[in-house]
Amino acid sequence: MRVTAQWIERIAEVGAAEWDALDSAGNPFVRHAFLATLESTGCVGVDTGWSPRHLLPRGDAGGLIGAVPAY
């Protein structure tokens, strides 16, 4: 399998369903909605020193095979 990696600077750049499908345990702190709320309300961002930079590894077909939320 060939894996490509993509860095994104806003969680909104990836679909919520695709992101959330990676977490079968349902951890609320890695859910798309939670991370999007942190970003949209200014809790994280350039002004706070917590700049979003999420890593998205994708498989051959282009679908997410993992995700690393990072700040």
Q: What is the pLDDT of residue 45?
A: 93
Q: What is the pLDDT of residue 1?
A: 85
**Mean pLDDT in the chain?**
96
pTM of the model: 0.89
Residue 6 φ/ψ region, left for φ over 0, alpha for ψ in the -120 to 50 degree band, beta for the rest: beta
So where are the chain's domains? Answer: 4-58
pLDDT band at 2 (very low <50, low <70, confident <90, very high): very high
* Segment 36-59, tens digit of pLDDT: 999 999 999 999 999 999 999 999
